[in-house]
Amino acid sequence: MIVVVGISHRTSPVELRERFAFAEADVPAALEELRRSGAVDEVVIVSTCNRVEIYAATRLDAPGAAAALKQFLFRRAQGKGVSSAAMPAQGGPPNAAAEGEFYVHAASQCLAHLFRVASGLDSMVPGETEILGQIKGAYQLAQRHGFTGLALNRAFQRALHAAKQVRTETNIQRGNVSVASVAVELAGKIFASVAGVAVLVLGAGDTSAKVARALQSRGAKRIVVAGRSLERAQALANEFGGQAVPFEDWPRHLDAIDIVISSTSAPQPVLDRRTLEPMMTARRDRPLLLIDIAVPRDVHPDVNILENVYLYDIDDLQAIADDYLKLRRDEIARGEAIIQENVRAIFERIQPQATAAPGTSAGLA
């Protein structure tokens, strides 16, 4: 049996999703804990700004596997503000609170969900490209550490194949199709135009790079990149003729900044009311737009009470994303047909392998 248990932007707000998110460095230990529990034979964890999902091949039936995986997630999140009252009972079915936040898909529905996610059809911005790399990275990490076998190898390899097919056989990627580009579009709506504004990008990762590219295409006057790795920040800044600064120095540059776009991997907020209030006084209350696309969030919501501070988090981008959804409905339907075609092609080859030994590779015809 293959099964997925997950939480996403479709089921829960960011303030809950961030409590279940995994830092990449923590994933191998989490995978090992799951395997030691005896509930799974193979396992992959996908954790992005919009979703946390556990894919597993298991000898348990779907309800039993779902209960075990939810128990693991809630136990891990208990220290992040998730009440123990919301946890499934040990060895028993999850209660209504847990059921309400998580979805479960098994067998062919699990495959269809995985293929849909990898193809960008389940994303906040339909057709966005980041998710395919994130799915591939999650799979490769689990495979590298020996947590996948025939079932999940075949499932994830076919997911990559299906995603490529959707990308090449539909027009779903036409136009702005990333969370980063939607964030920049929001900035353009708030300021009328991004052209001429000064922007601070917190975090020098892949999402930050996409933000910087989108900003440059809109004519931003100045881009400052602050990263914990100054070398990576410098490489990104050089690409756009911007300025790189050590992460701890970014507050010194805020006085000249109009927009802050934050996408770090920090486990706690890097900006809150106490930090920002004196900075706003120094700015003489000039308007400041904060776009927080990180999960866990980089900016504490208490900054909202400050005058002339405008904070938008990942969930606030949903309104713009909904516009893209309307424009892409026909392409989504074409993509769904491709997904079902791939599910039919691979399902019977996966089910008999659900208890195969982890670490065994399998190719796809």
Domain annotation covers residue 213 = yes
Residues 19 and 95 in one domain: yes
Contacts of 232 (CB under 8 A, 6+ apart): 204, 205
pLDDT at residue number 176: 57
Average pLDDT, the chain: 85
110 is catalytic: no
pLDDT at residue number 192: 77
Residues 316 and 198 in one domain: yes
Kindly report, residue by residue over 218-228, the tens digit of the pLDDT.
888 889 999 99
3-state secondary structure of 25: helix
Domain annotation covers residue 211 = yes
Q: What is the mean pLDDT of residues 84-100?
A: 46
pLDDT at residue number 175: 63
Catalytic residue among 46, 49, 69, 276: 49
Residues 26 and 163 in one domain: yes
Q: Would you say 130 and 179 are in contact if contact means Cβ atoms under 8 Å apart?
A: yes
Contacts of 70 (CB under 8 A, 6+ apart): 5, 88, 94, 98, 102
pLDDT at 80 over 90: no
Domain annotation covers residue 359 = no
Taking alpha carbons only, the member of 15, 69, 321 closest to residue 179 is 321
Question: Strand pairing of 259-262 and 198-202?
Answer: parallel
**Which of the residue ranges 97-101, 140-144, 203-207, 351-355 has the most confident prediction, judged by mean pLDDT?**
140-144
Q: Tell me how far apart the alpha carbons of residues 142 and 130 are, in angstroms, rounded to a whole number.
A: 19
Extract the runs of DSSP E, i.e. beta strands, from 48-140. Answer: 51-57, 103-106
Which pTM does this prediction carry? 0.75
Amino acid at the residue 336: E
Residues 19 and 129 in one domain: yes
Q: Tell me how far apart the alpha carbons of residues 120 and 127 are, in angstroms, rounded to a whole number.
A: 5
* pLDDT above 90: percentage of residues in the chain: 49
Kindly report, residue by residue over 5-21, the tens digit of the pLDDT.
999 999 988 888 898 99
* pLDDT above 70: percentage of residues in the chain: 88
Q: What is the mean pLDDT of residues 47-68?
A: 94
Q: What is the mean pLDDT of residues 52-78?
A: 93
Q: Give the total number of structural domains in the chain.
A: 2
Q: What are 154's two structure tokens? A: 């075949």
CATH code of the domain in which 10 resides: 3.30.460.30
Domain annotation covers residue 235 = yes
Q: Tell me how far apart the alpha carbons of residues 147 and 154 are, in angstroms, rounded to a whole number.
A: 13
CATH code of the domain in which 287 resides: 3.40.50.720
Helix (H), strand (E) at residue 3: strand 2-8
Q: Tell me how far apart the alpha carbons of residues 34 and 296 are, in angstroms, rounded to a whole number.
A: 22
Q: What is the mean pLDDT of residues 209-237?
A: 86
pLDDT at 337 over 50: yes
The domain of 41 spans 2-172+328-353
HSE-CB of 356 using CA atoms within 13 angstroms: 19
Domain annotation covers residue 207 = yes
